């Protein structure tokens, strides 16, 4: 089924669609364009497409228009409702799909929605993959994302050369929805890590330490992690612009909590993180980066200015 697609990927004759040009979607699409692929893009905000159009991409007037002209279609949007609209809406992808297309949703969304897309894709004679990613804006720009893959395994093997432009760590997790479940594991880890990281920054500052110096010690010890290396320097610079939005992280935690309830699990730590991030959004930081949790924790400490790092 995928022989022609494999060959056209190899010789760059394949036509690729990209839907969603946000903080991460735009640089990911740019990697494909830079690699010499034919790219057709769509965004609800057409101005976001201009840098790609200036480099040779074409613009699709709807998601259906993108699907009509492309062999492989990537989607990277915000919320499950956006994914649903992009695939199943009146101007969505499934209005124009054809046999042997490969549909790849890289949005973090609900596992059952990934399964629904897979079933509809099968009815249309094409296949789908759910491939949420981790690594934030830095990973997207540098091509160092980690990819959690669910769906048709043969399709995954065949589009591997395309995915390699986003990162080298791409792991097949299982059938449709498995990539999304794996991403929930990732987000649960990050949620707890972020609380500890922010509270460590507040504690160290209150103790009179130079947190730049502290970071040199703990980042290479047992506490070492992506958050310390990439987000703590932003915290120390009081730069809370998004690599990943607070509101999108809340969405991810809600999905993980819903799925855990279906499994009969009660995740106390995740519930706490979700509550703290809800407060962060309520305080007006929903469009800031996830490390803006620090700002909320500072305000919860009764706005004592001595608590800020």
The catalytic residues are 183
Q: Which two tokens stand for residue 79?
A: 């919320």
Contact 155, 127 (CB under 8 A): yes
- For residues 43 and 48, give the distance between their C-alpha atoms in angstroms, rounded to a whole number: 7
Q: Are β-strands 72-75 and 102-105 bridged in parallel, bridged antiparallel, or unpaired?
A: parallel
Q: Length of the chain in residues, anyone?
A: 309
- For residues 201 and 208, give the distance between their C-alpha atoms in angstroms, rounded to a whole number: 11
- Give the SS3 label for residue 173: strand
- For residues 229 and 65, give the distance between their C-alpha atoms in angstroms, rounded to a whole number: 41
Q: Which two tokens stand for residue 241?
A: 């612009």
Strand runs (DSSP E) across the chain, as ranges? 15-19, 38-42, 58-59, 72-75, 102-105, 127-130, 133-134, 146-151, 169-174
Bridge partner list, 172: 149
- Give the SS3 label for residue 232: helix
């Amino acid at each position: 089924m995928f022989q022609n697609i494999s060959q056209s990927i190899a010789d760059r004759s394949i036509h690729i669609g990209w839907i969603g040009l946000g903080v991460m979607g735009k640089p990911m699409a740019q990697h494909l364009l830079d690699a010499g692929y034919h790219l057709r893009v769509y965004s609800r905000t057409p101005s976001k497409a201009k840098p790609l159009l200036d480099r040779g991409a074409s613009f699709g007037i709807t998601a259906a228009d993108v699907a009509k002209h492309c062999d492989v279609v990537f989607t990277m949007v915000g919320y499950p409702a956006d994914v649903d609209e992009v695939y199943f809406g009146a101007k969505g992808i499934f209005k124009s799909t054809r046999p042997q297309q490969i549909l790849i949703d890289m949005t973090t969304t609900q596992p059952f929605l990934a399964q629904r897309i897979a079933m509809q894709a099968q009815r249309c004679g094409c296949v789908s993959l759910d491939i949420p990613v981790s690594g934030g804006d830095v990973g997207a720009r540098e091509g160092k994302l980690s990819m959690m893959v669910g769906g048709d395994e043969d399709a995954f093997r065949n589009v591997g050369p395309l995915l390699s432009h986003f990162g080298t760590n791409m792991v097949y997790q299982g059938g449709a929805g498995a990539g999304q479940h794996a991403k929930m594991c990732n987000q649960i880890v990050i949620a707890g890590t972020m609380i500890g990281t922010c509270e460590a920054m507040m504690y160290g500052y209150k103790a009179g330490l130079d947190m730049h110096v502290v970071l040199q010690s703990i980042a290479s010890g047992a506490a070492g992690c992506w958050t310390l290396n990439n987000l703590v320097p932003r915290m120390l610079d009081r730069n809370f612009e998004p690599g990943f939005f607070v509101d999108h992280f809340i969405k991810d935690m809600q999905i993980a909590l819903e799925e855990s309830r279906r499994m009969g699990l009660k995740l106390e730590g995740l519930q706490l993180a979700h509550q703290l991030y809800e407060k962060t959004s309520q305080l007006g930081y929903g469009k800031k980066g996830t490390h803006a949790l620090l700002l909320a924790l500072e305000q919860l400490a009764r706005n004592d200015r001595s608590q800020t790092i």
